[in-house]
Chains A and B, each alone.
Chain A
């Protein structure tokens, strides 16, 4: 009786069987990549803001200290977004008529807040506390990157759990003396690991086991 399939079908069959393995492998890889992609994490993507506020200009160019605006950073879990008042401290004098700053003035007039778009956003079940990190010598730079070079602010790191764990497992790799916490482009005077270990003793950094306990970040 006649052949139903062409001879080549055999080869085809073989290929599909072995191919399957690679396809599965590829899909797993792709899934993982997607989860880490900028699309998923929004990292390195500048965000639109009601006022095109430039850290590059304020922090970088004029060298205003982070803490001038982010007042809560040393005392509170929340670094704080400056109240309109803080902007107006200067902008009631300089650029006091610039149209780009109209939203700021409007807010000051009407008493309605400026609605900033959140850039670094952790899930609601993660309880990050700025003050403790800053007080233990974790520089702003470590997580937020070279803010002084950001015309429009973007999220530097992936903010994913494995990224957090890196430091919580090896604090020595990132710690710096407290006085340099807000320094941008800090370079360690010597071997970072060594300095880091020294600071760990100095600042009584808790054991990795404590730093990686679930309740350290999740409640």
Chain B
């Protein structure tokens, strides 16, 4: 047993950490790099010894989070087998059938979902009045037809059985009438003192209708105060703009015109307003296909590998602090500031000249993006640089702020705290949000809020804040009510309900209305009324119908403006805090549950986080070298089998225990903590998962700060990942990649080695596919690994959530997974993302081994999976080289919870226990389109069928279509020289193929 192996020798690690790997060799794990004897011993080992050992089965860890159902054979029989007598079923037809509704045919409605108050237009699919699936709204500038994982999972939130269902006062169930009367009494008092005791705390608001309400309320109660708090809001962007222009502005970009992009700790491809649009524009400029031979170039400086960093042509890992220095240096190089031209962090100054030159050469077609989590000065510098480069109006646009009274939310919150302490708050309405959980820790909101005499909390869940409020008001989900909000560019997006509120919820709009002169107005009346008052010109009705139909109000984007950079905007660089042997702590919203608001959403909890592939948890993420320094470096990167070490984090006198995650590509000397976990009152799914970094987060260091002390502590923690090995042996030809230069020199060179055997090389006659031949092409050069496709697939195909313990046992059910591989040195590897759905092999290994013909080849080349025929020998999975088949080890599907039944897609069988399942290219969509085409006596049109993953993909990396049609996009992509089949050498003839990924490095920096 290697347990008493000698401690790793740091020098050795360092030496090899600096990426001295030969050519395209992908390293296996830390040990490969430091080739000391004790590493060599581990060379080929991904796992610890004694694997036949003893693993506790789930009985020992059965908990509410476990999602395990116990079920007898008899029940299972009823589930999926034909040879039992059909139980008697009933049909309840409509009494009066809505004329636009044809039972059996889904309808799509445009509506809007918001994050941090900013709207994205979506289309919601409705089956007989049940919203089941979200798609992007192609008409909407912020979506362009794409949707992210949050949007995809939002339907689950709506049907979440843990949502707060009833209105209660001090725990006793009440009706809205009671609340209304109480409110009335208080308001009566307040009116006498012009509302001096009224405080309304909301999340960021961009809704014009709400703005109008607020104005009205302020007319009635001039002394009432409105506060906004968004834990993961764009605070420093706002401050940065104020610093640069003397006024808050909203900034957005046009990447379609940007040849050179510098991302200063900005994950613009996967998070933040408009990221869906940016991802689309960005990848369009990297698609070296159909004659396009140019690529844009992305420089990314960031502390931890993000989706954006993974796609960068040059990625420089810097501590969040040093990024300010980088910004100064670059600004200095561009002559917009006079900062340092050299410093001890040589990496920075090695880069600056090259980047500066590149930017200047592309003046007007370049872009510097400052990340939302960088301090105001970085934003100011970015504004200055963009102005200097003449990008404003070309790649950068400024408008008035999106939010209603764009205030400094921190100041506003502290103001509220002052009033609370003064006991000046009689009525505190908290509309959405969860300040008790996510406000800066030193404000102690949990206790402070209780100083308000009357507290009411409107929210989807009965959460930490509800707990300390007398009135707990159930909120409506966005699919249940009317509303509006502005998109990243100000476009007004209309939110239209698809279903009556499931529970007695009301919306923030309605609640604010209660403070106005017309308290009982319906949300529809409120929104329509407001726009009626806004609309100029006749035939408002038609205009309104069209707007609702499109989901947005035409040309309502805020007018762009060009604010002048005012003189003292950019002072001189402030003194950088000394590390003094301490670590930097970095706070970020979690990639899958954001600021904690999605903590009770099983789909998002189980969604593997980009790159790390962690599910259900957050961790103290640090670089392997840092972990090693702390003596908490696991011997392998594989967390799947046994637990990871724990560290005790100490920051400003507060301490937290956290599991360690050693993340290659992260900069040394910092620890990243993802916010949103450690909920104490989230619901059955989210409560108690992970630890709570809000416990560290203070008002003057919202995003990062120096001064964290971490030391090893006892115990280990089991983290559930969906991928244990991120290591790629190039001889396996899994990821093909190269540089643009290489490609232009010899297009074939990139995919060299990944060719399949010649088709003639078989004793069997070639099978000819008549009619359609469905196929898929995935552009690795476009994929950012954002994982929206996984969520979309889960929603479309009724894929079950299995829970953390089962994920840890390798039983996650996602039909589509996104593998991530590292290439290069541990401290800054290239990161490759590879979405892997079923390959639909033409020579499918799974098919001939199934003893009961449960998986067969369709006439169109699909690899059909017949759930009701499957007896569960699992042989097909063993024989699948891509391991894309998923097995129902238990009854994972939820057959009991009524609300979750409504969530199911009626076109896809809900799989029972003991059955194998897998991706079939969304065959339900294929059949639907085919039937429609047949009825019209035509063939299916190109683009008529979009698989769920394809439809939601922001970068259009996934393309599906008929490979028998030479003009289809998929055929064209497959004809590209970059096209290769995964493990094609096995002669499985996969219908899903990949386009190799290309980088466009700057020759000057390569040297």
- Interface on chain B toward A: helix, strand, loop, or mixed SS? loop
Flag whether A108 is at the interface (Cβ < 8 A): yes
Flag whether A190 is at the interface (Cβ < 8 A): no
Question: What's the minimum C-beta distance from A217 to chain B, rounded to whole angstroms?
Answer: 9
**A42-B86, A113-B94, A216-B927 given; 7 more Cβ-contact pairs under 8 Å:** A82-B93, A113-B92, A114-B93, A210-B859, A213-B860, A218-B864, A219-B920
Q: Which of A5-13, A119-127, A139-147 contacts B (4 or more CB under 8 A)?
A: A119-127
Whether A132 pairs with B931 at a CB distance below 8 angstroms is yes
Whether A124 pairs with B909 at a CB distance below 8 angstroms is yes
Whether A85 pairs with B95 at a CB distance below 8 angstroms is yes
Which residues does chain A contribute within 8 Å of B927, judged by CB atoms?
127, 129, 215-216, 219
Whether B80 pairs with A125 at a CB distance below 8 angstroms is yes
Number of A interface residues at 8 Å Cβ cutoff, please give it: 49
Flag whether A14 is at the interface (Cβ < 8 A): no
A-B contact pairs, 22 of them (CB 8 A): A71-B102, A76-B105, A80-B104, A81-B91, A81-B93, A82-B93, A83-B97, A85-B95, A117-B89, A118-B89, A118-B91, A121-B86, A124-B910, A125-B909, A129-B927, A210-B858, A213-B860, A214-B866, A215-B862, A215-B927, A218-B864, A218-B909
Q: Which residue of B lies closest to A84 (CB)?
A: B95
Flag whether A78 is at the interface (Cβ < 8 A): yes
Flag whether B545 is at the interface (Cβ < 8 A): no
CA distance A45 to B910 in the complex (A): 30
Give the residue among B83, B89, B95 with the most A Cβ atoms within 10 A.
B95
CA distance A137 to B992 in the complex (A): 36
Interface contacts (Cβ under 8 Å), in number, total: 137
Flag whether B745 is at the interface (Cβ < 8 A): no
**Which one, B94, B95, B923, contacts A215 given CB within 8 A?**
B923
Whether B86 pairs with A117 at a CB distance below 8 angstroms is no
Flag whether B82 is at the interface (Cβ < 8 A): yes
Whether B931 pairs with A112 at a CB distance below 8 angstroms is no
Which residues does chain B contribute within 8 Å of A81, judged by CB atoms?
91, 93
Whether A123 pairs with B82 at a CB distance below 8 angstroms is yes
Whether B102 pairs with A76 at a CB distance below 8 angstroms is yes
Which residues does chain B contribute within 8 Å of A107, judged by CB atoms?
95
CA distance A132 to B927 in the complex (A): 11
Whether B90 pairs with A116 at a CB distance below 8 angstroms is yes
Task: Mark each residue of chain A from 59 to 98: 1 if its CB lies under 8 Å from any CB of chain B, else 0.
Answer: 0000000000001100111101111110000000000000
Residues on B facing A (Cβ under 8 Å): 80, 82-83, 85-86, 88-97, 102-105, 770-771, 856, 858-860, 862, 864-869, 907-910, 920, 923-924, 926-927, 931, 934-935, 937
Whether B92 pairs with A83 at a CB distance below 8 angstroms is no
**Which one, B90, B93, B105, B935, contacts A135 given CB within 8 A?**
B935
CA distance A153 to B97 in the complex (A): 23
Question: What's the minimum C-beta distance from A105 to chain B, rounded to whole angstroms?
Answer: 11
Which residues does chain A contribute within 8 Å of B907, judged by CB atoms?
127, 219
Question: What's the minimum C-beta distance from A31 to chain B, rounded to whole angstroms?
Answer: 10
Flag whether A54 is at the interface (Cβ < 8 A): no
Q: Which residue of A lies closest to B911 (CB)?
A: A125
Q: Which residue of B lies closest to A42 (CB)?
A: B86
Q: Which residue of A lies closest to B905 (CB)?
A: A219
**Which one, A42, A85, A209, A210, contacts B97 given CB within 8 A?**
A85
CA distance A195 to B864 in the complex (A): 33
CA distance A111 to B96 in the complex (A): 8
Which residues does chain B contribute within 8 Å of A35, judged by CB atoms?
83
CA distance A219 to B906 in the complex (A): 11
Interface residues of A in 200-219 (CB under 8 A from B): 204, 206-207, 209-210, 213-216, 218-219
Whether B89 pairs with A215 at a CB distance below 8 angstroms is no
Flag whether A176 is at the interface (Cβ < 8 A): no
A218 and B867 contact, Cβ closer than 8 Å, known pairs A72-B103, A76-B105 = yes
Q: Which residue of B lies closest to A124 (CB)?
A: B909
A213 and B864 contact, Cβ closer than 8 Å, known pairs A81-B91, A206-B771 = yes
Which residues does chain B contribute within 8 Å of A204, judged by CB atoms?
934, 937
A118 and B104 contact, Cβ closer than 8 Å, known pairs A125-B909, A204-B934 = no
Q: Which residue of B lies closest to A71 (CB)?
A: B102
Flag whether A161 is at the interface (Cβ < 8 A): yes
**Which one, A40, A206, A219, contacts B85 given CB within 8 A?**
A40
Q: Which residue of A lies closest to B935 (CB)?
A: A135
Which residues does chain A contribute within 8 Å of B96, judged by CB atoms?
83-85
Which residues does chain B contribute within 8 Å of A55, judged by CB atoms?
none
Q: Which residue of B lies closest to A130 (CB)?
A: B104
CA distance A201 to B936 in the complex (A): 15
Question: What's the minimum C-beta distance from B484 to chain A, rounded to whole angstroms?
Answer: 32
**Which one, B85, B770, B866, B934, contacts A218 given CB within 8 A?**
B866
Q: Which residue of A lies closest to B98 (CB)?
A: A83
A123 and B868 contact, Cβ closer than 8 Å, known pairs A131-B931, A209-B859 = yes
Whether B93 pairs with A80 at a CB distance below 8 angstroms is yes
Instruction: In the A-B complex, list the 7 residue pairs whose CB atoms are closest, starting with the nearest.
Output: A78-B104, A76-B104, A113-B92, A213-B858, A214-B864, A83-B94, A210-B859
Whether B90 pairs with A76 at a CB distance below 8 angstroms is no
A207 and B859 contact, Cβ closer than 8 Å, known pairs A81-B93, A83-B95, A127-B907 = yes
Flag whether A17 is at the interface (Cβ < 8 A): no
CA distance A42 to B85 in the complex (A): 8
Which residues does chain B contribute within 8 Å of A209, judged by CB atoms?
859
Which residues does chain A contribute within 8 Å of B771, judged by CB atoms?
206-207, 210
